[in-house]
Amino acid sequence: MRDPRNWVRPVVAAGVGASAGTALVLLRVRSKNKRNRAQSKDILELAERTLRDVADEARNLLDR
């Protein structure tokens, strides 16, 4: 790992993994957002619920 030419693969792998994790969290939150939209009274409450769902899903994904 001393040679910078060997850094490309690990950096790309980390980027792909982070992108996949982010996409998974967004897909799960998007499915929950339909239910939250009906339960929310205004846009601020919907935003709070969405942010809470994002944090919960990210935490669940990291715990696995």
Are 42 and 50 within 8 A, CB to CB? no
Interval 38-56: pLDDT, tens: 777 888 988 888 899 899 9
Question: Whole-prediction pTM value?
Answer: 0.65
Q: What is the DSSP string of 1-64?
A: --SGGGGHHHHHHHHHHHHHHHHHHHHHHHHHHHHHHHH-SSHHHHHHHHHHHHHHHHHHHHH-
Whole-number Å distance between alpha carbons of 8 and 23: 22
Can you give the pLDDT at residue 19?
95
